[in-house]
Amino acid sequence: MAFDKSQKDKYDKWLQTEFAAALVERLSQAFEQSPTAEIIKKFNREAGFGQWRYVPDLWIPKHNLLTRFGKVADETGKGGFTMVLASSQLIAVLRKLKLYKWPSSAEKHDPTQALNALFRSSFRIPGLMFIGPNNPDMLFQTCDHILDKADVRAVIIASKCLGPDRFPNGIYGLWPPDPPADYHTAGFQPV
């Protein structure tokens, strides 16, 4: 069965622009059900969040869907910078978060600070969770320097580490996710 390219494009746009923003809002609303500090500390003592976790590549980015957000130091360590991109939908969520200090017009966005604010809105003590190979710098590097993708990857890592009993609001199952029921894609099934 052939698929309609316009439906695939619509799905890709939803995944790259709306999915991360909706995920952050869902986790922020369910903050009271997020893993307690004791659960996170216990897991970190037992197995640790600092271990590398396999996560498949989430999506091939379409840069025309994204906005320049801010710069992070590049991987070379020679003082260069790499631009971080974000969807306008996730930027709108960040605007509402009291945990993120929105820069004045003269200041630039700090993508690491923004990612940490997203973590704090979703998890009780993210400082123990996103460490070692899962720290914000590494998340940006493995996620094409895209804020949305880095946040989704972090949630998948937390889900793998904690499991559905300790983190019921995580991402479980096959990737990529199905679009919401009210999002018409004419029978398109993500592969």
List beta partners, residue 72.
Answer: 82
The mean pLDDT value for 21-39 works out to 83
- The full DSSP string for 9-20 is HHHHHIIIIIHH
Residue 35 has pLDDT above 70, yes or no: no
List beta partners, residue 82.
Answer: 72
Q: pLDDT tens digits, residue range 87-110?
A: 999 999 999 988 888 887 767 899
d(Cα 107, Cα 26) in Å, to the nearest integer?
A: 29
Q: How confident is the model at residue 23 (pLDDT cuts 50, 70, 90)?
A: very high
The answer to whether the CB of 119 falls within 8 A of the CB of 147 is no
Candidates 14, 18, 11, 49; CA nearest to 155 is 49
Q: What is the pTM of this model?
A: 0.88
The answer to whether the CB of 106 falls within 8 A of the CB of 146 is no
In percent, how much of the chain has pLDDT > 70?
91
List beta partners, residue 182.
Answer: none
What residues have CB less than 8 Å from 148, skipping those under 6 apart? 16, 17, 19, 20, 21, 66, 86, 87, 90
Residue 161 has pLDDT above 90, yes or no: no
Sign of CA dihedral 136, 140, 40, 48: negative
The mean pLDDT value for 36-63 works out to 82
Candidates 168, 161, 99, 153; CA nearest to 129 is 161
- Domains of the chain: which residue ranges? 5-166
Residue 152: the pLDDT is 97
